[in-house]
Amino acid sequence: MTAPAAPLAARRGPLGGLAAHPSLRVLEHDLLVFRRGWHSYVLSGLSQPFLYLISMGIGLGLYVNRNGGAPDGVPYLNYVAPALLVTQAMMAASFESAWPIMSKFVWEKTYLAAINTPLGATNLLVGDLMWISFRAVLLSVLFFAAILALGAVSSPLAVLSIPVAVLTAMAFAAPIMAFTATQKTDQPFNVLFRFGITPLFLFSGTFFPIDRLPLFLQPLAWATPLYHGVSLARGLSLGRVEPLADLIHLAVLVAFAVAGLVAGRITFRRRLAL
Residues that bind other proteins (CB under 8 A): 1-2, 4-5, 7-8, 11, 20, 22, 25, 28-29, 32-33, 36, 108-110, 112-120, 272-274
End-to-end CA distance of the chain, in Å? Answer: 30
Please identify, using beta-carbon distances, which residue of 7 and 68 lies nearer to other proteins: 7
Please identify, using beta-carbon distances, which residue of 194 and 270 lies nearer to other proteins: 270
Shortest distance in whole angstroms from residue 36 CB to other proteins = 8
Please identify, using beta-carbon distances, which residue of 215 and 274 lies nearer to other proteins: 274
Please identify, using beta-carbon distances, which residue of 110 and 190 lies nearer to other proteins: 110
Nearest to 237 by CA among 81, 103, 21: 81
Shortest distance in whole angstroms from residue 273 CB to other proteins = 6
Shortest distance in whole angstroms from residue 93 CB to other proteins = 19
Please identify, using beta-carbon distances, which residue of 4 and 243 lies nearer to other proteins: 4
CA 42 from centre of chain? 16
Rounded to whole angstroms, the Cα distance separating 159 from 85 reads 11
Rounded to whole angstroms, the Cα distance separating 16 from 38 reads 29
Give the number of C-alpha atoms closer than 13 A to the C-alpha of residue 1, restricted to the C-beta side. 1
Shortest distance in whole angstroms from residue 39 CB to other proteins = 16
Shortest distance in whole angstroms from residue 211 CB to other proteins = 46
35, 130, 156, 206, 261 from 25: Cα distances, Å: 15, 11, 36, 36, 18
User: Around Cβ 120, how many Cβ atoms within 10 Å?
Assistant: 18
Give the number of C-alpha atoms closer than 13 A to the C-alpha of residue 43, restricted to the C-beta side. 4
- Read off φ and ψ for residue 52, nearest 5 degrees: -65, -50
Please identify, using beta-carbon distances, which residue of 109 and 194 lies nearer to other proteins: 109
Rounded to whole angstroms, the Cα distance separating 105 from 154 reads 44
Shortest distance in whole angstroms from residue 266 CB to other proteins = 14
> At 30, which helix (H) or strand (E)?
helix 22-52
